[in-house]
A and B are shown apart, each in its own frame.
Chain A
Amino acid sequence: DIQVTQSPSFLSASVGDRVTITCRASQDISSFLAWFQQTPGKAPKLLIYAASTLQSGVPSRFSGSGSGTEFTLTISSLQPEDFATYYCQQLNDYPRTFGQGTKVEIK
């Protein structure tokens, strides 16, 4: 199975901050990576697919980059509704696997 590792696991930030989350895959997955946001009691919400394509309706302050084994999710200016847990997922192969999550908390 392809292992996906996120860092950091926890992140404390303030409204307006620029936030970057990293995801590393255990092997080359090209651009087959997605990012999700999850708030308590809700299902994961797709933010980005194909490593850098913004899902329809997702604010432009979210962006994704990377290919191969290293990827990043950037929130350019953190908003109150962005405090959540973020997951990356590889879609290069089955089984689909997820990172362990990055919880973004209010500083």
Chain B
Amino acid sequence: QVQLQESGPGLVKPSETLSLTCSVSGDSDSMSGSNWSWIRQTPGRGLEWIGYIFQSGTANYNLSLKGRATISMDTSRKQFSLRLKSVTAADSALYYCAREIHYYDYGGHISYWYFDVWGRGALVTVSS
């Protein structure tokens, strides 16, 4: 059973860089074949997908973040990380890491992706 745990500073100053790490535990080969994602949640904007990284190092980001986000991975340590630069108060949120896996429907020849495991969340406040 894969488990995820976010860690990182809970307070970041405006214009600085937010850094969070997600540690993956459980299945010994748990980082292969999945998209490792970051999602944030605020009362005003709801749930917002930030981006993902695949085991190959390929990453995909929400363009709404205007190039401020970088996701990296260290498979040897079973961790992946988020860096969000030039933060403002609008980046204050509860940040979740999550695993996106796929199920292949052989009958329909379709892959269905879904987020099956989430961390408990890390609250980050941007304030001076």
Contact = CB atoms under 8 A, between A and B. Distances in A.
Given A95-B62, A95-B64, A55 B116 contact: yes
Chain B contact residues, majority secondary structure: strand
Contacts of A19: none
Interface of A: 30-32, 34, 36, 42-46, 49-50, 53, 55, 87, 89, 91, 94-101
Interface of B: 46-49, 60, 62-64, 96, 98, 103, 105, 110, 112-116, 118-121
Contact of B120 (A43, A49, A98): A43
Contacts, number: 57
Contact of A95 (B63, B96, B103): B63
B27 to A, nearest CB: 15
Contacts of B64: 95
Given A43-B118, A43-B119, A95-B62, A32 B112 contact: yes
B115 A34 contact: yes
Given A32-B112, A34-B114, A50-B112, A98 B46 contact: yes
